[in-house]
Amino acid sequence: MQREAARWSLTAPALASFATTGDLAPGLAGAGSRWSEGQLRLRLVDGSGLNPATIMPSFYRLEGLVRVGQTWRGKPILSAEQIEDIVAYLASLRE
């Protein structure tokens, strides 16, 4: 138990700092005000169409991917229903 607590005490500040820097991606607050549902959907399905240098995975695209594990070949990361659920949630985030 002490070992777990010690590990958490070392990682918590690093995670808190990482979560507030915004270096990895834009914040989601106000996403529904900044982007339409179609734009949010496109970012989830295949964000590389908007930004070829993105590190965000394509959650629904299947073609043209590299380094895909055998288990995942031919399968999207998220189902169409899951994509729509996420789009609805993000669209609800208004400032």
**Residue 31 belongs to domain with CATH number:** 1.10.760.10
Q: Decide if 1 is inside a domain.
A: no
pTM: 0.66
Residue 44 exposed, middle or buried by CB count within 10 Å (0-12, 13-18, 19+): buried
Contacts of 3 (CB under 8 A, 6+ apart): none
pLDDT for position 9: 46
Residue-range definition of the domain harbouring residue 68? 27-92
pLDDT for position 16: 52
Please name the helix (run of DSSP H) or strand (run of DSSP E) that holds residue 83, with its range, or none.
Answer: helix 80-92
* pLDDT greater than 60 at residue 1: no
For the chain, what is the domain count?
Answer: 1
Instruction: Report residue 6's pLDDT band, with 50, 70 and 90 as the boundaries.
Output: very low
The mean pLDDT of 4-17, rounded to a whole number, is 49
Please measure the distance between the N-terminal and C-terminal CA atoms of the chain and give it in whole angstroms: 41
The mean pLDDT of 70-78, rounded to a whole number, is 85
* pLDDT greater than 60 at residue 43: yes
Q: Decide if 7 is inside a domain.
A: no
Instruction: Report residue 7's pLDDT band, with 50, 70 and 90 as the boundaries.
Output: very low
Q: Decide if 22 is inside a domain.
A: no
Contacts of 23 (CB under 8 A, 6+ apart): none
